[in-house]
Amino acid sequence: MKNIILITIDTLRKNMLGAYGGGDSLTPFLDTLQDNMVVFKNPFATGPYTQASFQGILASEYYLEYGKEKKLNKDKTLVSEPLKDAGIYTAGFHSNAYLSYFFGYNKGWDTFYDSMSDNVTDMYPFIRGNDINKKTEGFLNNFSFSKPLFLWVHYMDVHEPYIAEESYLSKIDPSIKLSKDEMFSLFKNVILKRDISDEGTVDTLKKLYMAKVAETDQYLKELFSVFESKGLLDNSTIIITSDHGDEFSEHGGLSHDGKMYSELIDVPFIVYDKSYTNTVIDTPVSLIDIPPTICSMMEVTPPSSFKGKSFYPFEDIKPYTLYGEAMGKLGHKEKDTDKPIQYMIEDGLKVIFKQDGSVWEAYDLADDPKDTKDISSSLTEDNKQKLESFINRNK
Amino acid sequence: MITEERRKELEEKIAKSKEIVREAMGKFDHKNLAITWTGGKDSTLVLWIIKQVCDEEGIDIPKLMTIDEGDAFPEIHLILEEYEKKWNLDLVWCSNKDVIDAAGGELGADVEVAKLSQANQKEIRERLDYPGDKFPFEAESWIGNHLMKTVVFNDFLKKNNIKAMFMGIRWDEQEARTKDEYFVLREGDEYTPEHTRIQPILHFTERDIWDTTLTFDIPYCPLYKQGYRSLGAATTSLKMSDIPAWEQDLENTVERAGRRQDKEEAMDRLRKLGYM
């Protein structure tokens, strides 16, 4: 059996990667893997922010399944649990507070690093990729490899406050001459306030973000070289994805609020294995299927609590209906008055329902992949009923 | 296994620790001294060193206390029980029974503050300044850690008139420990009796602990053989890999990763990101 390595990059928009046609590539290292990659062209996160999306990625569950829960419900099963029970060694390394012990994400791991007791600064409010790599390497140095391994590594670097390194930023736009303090004040005064009034500033923010993507590509390169030195690349399948994207005023906002537009729920999903040849899969897939897919790849029976289904082996994949849900929050903080927002993707159509004001929206994904022209007036009762039955599934 | 030179080095470290133990025994009456023993590698080494001194001096080993937080590894209980008998120890098993009972002994169960003893309520309201009606029973959470460890520790000091406690702290454990001293006076207040913490193995590194433990046949909990490096509550302690602790690269990796599930630490991160 092969090891499975799941690499998640917080806040990474799909169109940033070379594999998804991201122009002047920000990800030269990832691009070198393409010959041995299966690229899923249309993967969708179950939600537009960490709490809403990671319930899908690690627990195969929708965010509001048990009511408005920030903490992972005790009844939910993380993918690490059935794998560990099956005798696979499970190890996770990350620095996202929403995925920490406190929020219930420590279940099922033999080794788990959430960084919460380490010191961080305001400018870098998480452990950076190079240190996540060191923790991972330290673990691998001490690992016997006598059992199959499920390894999860998560990078936070792309997430605001976008304190970009000069070496990466200068390649994207050498005219931006901001000190780190100035970048941090953009976070405080523009991003946190969702101030999109100045186009130039929004453009600058996006370039800072892009510099963080390029920086993360370097961390991936370093991590792969650790894998290479341990012989892991010969007997592992590596999944690379993200929990959600980020908005740069495409739909009137910044960062990642409770919206279901492409800049937030379109994420990369690529699978690298030395034995693979370059393959493109156009069928839309949901990240809620990651846990059962990993179980299937590791020959473990998925628990009945998983809402998704395995799409492994990839060549047998059949089109299916995708769903997602979150709270329709605007701004960083969820408020008690926020109401749910859900989406459905079926036959190339994205249908969104906002409970706040009972608003329907619809987008033709083939003609309008960036969700700019609402065609909800042409929605049929069948379309609406199908999403409504998802929304009301527990009633 | 180790070189003659390394053995000498360890013997010197043990001799230094014995010196601290003797100094402590000169400073405090035997009846006012006690040892905290968790069953972990550090406090077991402290106990072994004290036992050497006591054997040499022909005196009894001071009273020992161990804390059951309600979430202990069975392997830890076994080693405590085994050596309690073998070494004929005066071991006091301490716990905050009031809280464990209120949780029905179930981890994660809600504990209603109003159902606790006056003393525990006072700790929660006045000392921790926690306003909630209930809290989840988790040994290594903020409230759990306080009630299950700090309060129990202080009660033990009070009830047994203890003036000084031997503890297994080491300089290399974490940044915050690097300036610790062998004798640390804790001034008393309304809740904590004044006492001295005696830390005779401060100068041992994690590597020294294992070399000493294995060279001198000092007992250790079998969990270390499975890859654990640090043992706390059962549900929050994790392996650092799957090979024995002493075979791991101790110098370039950390001994423990996020053993406490601290709400404040997570909230502080989220505040920094603007989420709270």
Q: What is the CATH number of the domain that holds B167?
A: 3.40.50.620
For A161-180, write each residue's pLDDT tens digit.
999 999 999 999 999 999 99
Q: Are A345 and A299 part of one and the same domain?
A: no
Report if residue B249 sits inside a domain.
no
Please give, one letter per residue, the 3-state secondary structure of A113-173: ECCCCCCCCCCCCCCCHHHHHHHHHHHHHCCCCCCCEEEEEEECCCCCCCCCCHHHHHHHC
Which of A78-82, A115-119, B60-64, B206-210 bottoms out in mean pLDDT, i.e. has the lowest? A115-119
The three-class DSSP label of residue B54 is: helix
Neighbouring C-alpha atoms within 13 Å toward the C-beta of A256: 29
Burial of A116 (0-12, 13-18, 19+ CB in 10 A): buried
Report if residue A329 sits inside a domain.
no
Q: Are A93 and A159 part of one and the same domain?
A: yes
Round to whole Å and give the CA distance between A375 and A117.
Answer: 49
Best residue of A75, A94, A101, A127 to probe chain B, by most B CBs closer than 10 Å: A101
Q: Are A278 and A384 part of one and the same domain?
A: no
Which of A169-178, B60-69, B70-79, B142-151 bottoms out in mean pLDDT, i.e. has the lowest? B142-151
Report if residue B251 sits inside a domain.
no
Q: Are A357 and A218 part of one and the same domain?
A: no
The three-class DSSP label of residue B166 is: strand
Of B236, B257, B266, the CB nearest to A103: B266
Q: Are A178 and A204 in contact (CB under 8 A)?
A: yes
Pick from A345, A248, A297: nearest CA to A46: A345
Q: Which domain holds residue A357?
A: 339-395
Q: Is the per-residue pLDDT at B261 higher than 80?
A: no
Of A111, A114, A126, the CB nearest to B241: A111
Report if residue A31 sits inside a domain.
yes
Q: Are A269 and A373 part of one and the same domain?
A: no
Q: Are A123 and A190 part of one and the same domain?
A: yes
| CATH number of the domain enclosing A278 | 3.40.720.10
ipTM: 0.88
DSSP B90-154: -EEEE--HHHHHHTTT-TT-EEEGGGS-HHHHHIIIIIS----SEEE--TTSHHHHIIIIIHHHH
B134 confidence band (pLDDT: 50, 70, 90):
very high
The three-class DSSP label of residue B184 is: strand
Chain B residues within an 8 Å CB radius of A120: 269, 272
Q: Are A268 and A367 part of one and the same domain?
A: no
Q: Are A359 and A233 part of one and the same domain?
A: no
Q: Are A60 and A128 part of one and the same domain?
A: yes
Can you read off the two tokens belonging to residue A144?
A: 């016997």
Report if residue A330 sits inside a domain.
no
Neighbour tally for B73: CB within 10 Å? 20
Q: Quick one: pLDDT at residue A68?
A: 57
Q: Which domain holds residue B44?
A: 4-220
CB contact under 8 Å between A111 and B274, yes or no, is: no
Name the percent of chain B lying above pLDDT 90: 76
Higher local confidence (pLDDT), B243 or B105: B243
Chain A residues within an 8 Å CB radius of B263: 102
Report if residue A237 sits inside a domain.
yes
Q: How many separate domains does chain B show?
A: 1
Q: Are A279 and A392 part of one and the same domain?
A: no
Q: Are A363 and A375 in contact (CB under 8 A)?
A: yes
pLDDT (mean) for B248-261: 79
For A36-71, write each residue's pLDDT tens digit.
999 999 999 999 999 999 999 999 999 988 665 578
A262 confidence band (pLDDT: 50, 70, 90):
very high
Best residue of A109, A122, A142 to probe chain B, by most B CBs closer than 10 Å: A142
Q: Are A137 and A217 part of one and the same domain?
A: yes
The three-class DSSP label of residue B231 is: coil
Q: Are A57 and A127 part of one and the same domain?
A: yes
Q: Are B236 and B259 in contact (CB under 8 A)?
A: yes
pTM comes to 0.93
Q: How many separate domains does chain A show?
A: 2
Which A-chain residues 330-369 have CB contacts (< 8 A) with chain B?
332-333
